[in-house]
């Protein structure tokens, strides 16, 4: 997984534009969204359930679970401590922000994004 970020954007297979709607976007088979950039005129938020679905919910910030939320002192090589679940109450991504991760589904509640996908 670390190599994906190191070679970004060289391994990008495509991108998808989406705006607030009732339809979630999903990458092609055998691909994941590796980043998204907030575009348009304002911040972006994501649906509370199914809004930002990480391939591994304990490793990447998402709306389904709190990534990196182990108790302090209990960190592992795959998960840290102190993380919280992203919600519309605490996670508004500003215009121009680019967020990296491994996402299998994205559903925008407000704002617009371009999501970039790469082969797994």
Q: Are 69 and 82 in contact (CB under 8 A)?
A: yes
Q: In the predicted model, what is the mean pLDDT of residues 29-44?
A: 95
**Mean pLDDT (the chain, rounded):** 88
Instruction: Using the Cα atoms of residue 96, residue 98, residue 99 and residue 102 in order, give the sign of their dihedral.
Output: positive
pLDDT at residue 10 tops 90 = no
Tokens of 35: 């980043």
pLDDT at residue 95 tops 50 = yes
Distance CA 75, CA 63 (A): 21
What is the C-alpha to C-alpha distance for residues 51 and 115, in angstroms, rounded to an integer? Answer: 13
Q: Is the pLDDT of residue 7 over 70?
A: no
At residue 78, the pLDDT reads 85
- Residue 62, pLDDT above cutoff 60: yes
Mean pLDDT of 46-67: 90
Which secondary structure element, helix H or strand E, spans residue 66, and what is its range?
none
- Tell me how many degrees the CA angle 8-87-34 measures, rounded to the nearest 5: 15
Max avg pLDDT among 7-11, 31-35, 79-83, 88-92: 31-35
């Amino acid at each position: 997984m670390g190599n994906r970020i190191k070679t970004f954007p060289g391994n990008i297979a495509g991108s998808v534009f989406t705006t607030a709607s009732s339809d979630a976007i999903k990458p092609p088979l055998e691909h994941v969204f590796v980043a998204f950039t907030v575009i348009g005129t304002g911040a972006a938020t994501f649906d509370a359930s199914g809004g930002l679905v990480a391939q591994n919910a304990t490793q990447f910030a998402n709306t389904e679970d709190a990534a990196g939320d182990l108790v302090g002192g209990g960190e592992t090589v795959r998960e840290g401590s102190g993380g919280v679940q992203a919600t519309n109450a605490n996670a508004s991504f500003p215009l121009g922000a680019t967020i990296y991760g491994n996402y299998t589904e994205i559903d925008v509640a407000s704002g617009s994004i371009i999501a970039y996908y790469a082969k797994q």
